Structure 1
Amino acid sequence: MDRKVLTLGLVMCLSSITVTGCSNSQQDEIARLDKSYVLEQQKNVELEKEKAVLSESLESANKRVEKQVSIITSLSKDSANEMNIYSICTGNIDDYSKVIDFYITMPKELSLKSKLSTIAETISEAYFSNLPIKVLEIDDKKIATVNLEEMPESSTDTSMKQSNSWSTSLFQGSTGGTITRIRLAESFLQKDYKGEWIEGIRFLYKGQRIDFQHVPELSEVIYRR
Structure 2
Amino acid sequence: MEKKISKLLLAFTFSAALTGCLHDTTTVDTTENIEGVSMPSVQTADLYAYTLDYDNMINVPIDGSKVEYSGDILTAMNNLATILSDQAFDGLEIDIVNIENVDDKKIVTINLQDGDKGSWYNYFQGSAGGLVTVRSLEETFLQRAYPGEWIDGVQFQYNGEPMPEFDHTVGLESVIYR
Q: Relative to total residues, which structure has the larger strand share, 1 or 2?
A: 2
Q: Which residue of 1 aligns with 2:26?
A: none
Q: Is the 8 A contact 1:96 1:179 kept in 2?
A: no
- Could you tell me how far apart the structure 2 residues matched to 1:215 and 1:96 are? 16
Kept in 2, the 8 Å contact 1:83–1:105? The answer is: no
Alpha-carbon distance, 1:95 to partner: 4.7
Q: In structure 1, what is the equivalent of residue 51 of structure 2?
A: 90
Assess if the C-alpha contact under 8 Å between 2:156 and 2:172 holds in 1. Answer: yes
Counterpart check, 1:217 vs 2:178: no
- Tell me the equivalent position of 1:99: 60
* Number of positions where the alignment pairs a residue of Structure 1 with one of Structure 2: 132
Counterpart Cα distance in 2 of 1:142 and 1:129:
29
Q: CA RMSD in A?
A: 1.7
In the alignment, the residues of structure 1 paired with residue 69 and residue 56 of structure 2 have an alpha-carbon distance, to the nearest angstrom, of 34
**Measured at CA, do residues 215 and 107 of structure 1 come closer, stay the same or move farther in structure 2, by a change above 3 Å?**
closer
| 1:117 partner amino acid | N
Structure number with bigger Rg: 1
Verify the 8 A CA contact 2:67 2:76 in the aligned structure 1: no
Q: For residue 142 of structure 1, what is the amino acid of its counterpart?
A: K
- Give the superposition deviation at 1:215: 0.4
If the length of structure 2 is used for normalisation, what is the TM-score? Answer: 0.68
Paired-residue identity, %? 35
- Indicate yes or no: 2:84 matched with 1:139: no
SS in 2 for 1:186: helix
The 3 A distance-change label for structure 1 pair 210 and 219 is same
Q: Secondary structure in 2 aligned to 1:124?
A: helix
What is the rounded CA distance, in whole Å, between the counterparts of 1:123 and 1:198 in structure 2?
18
Larger relative CO (CA 8 A, sep 6+): 1 or 2?
2
5+ residue gaps, structure 1, are 1-80, 153-160
2:74 alignment counterpart: 113
What TM-score, normalized by structure 1, do the two folds share?
0.55
Kindly provide the amino acid, as one letter, of the partner of residue 118 in structure 1.
N
Distance change >3 Å, CA 142–CA 170, structure 1 → 2: same
Paired position in structure 1 for 2:85: 124
**Preserved contact between residue 108 and residue 153 of structure 2 (Cα < 8 Å):** yes
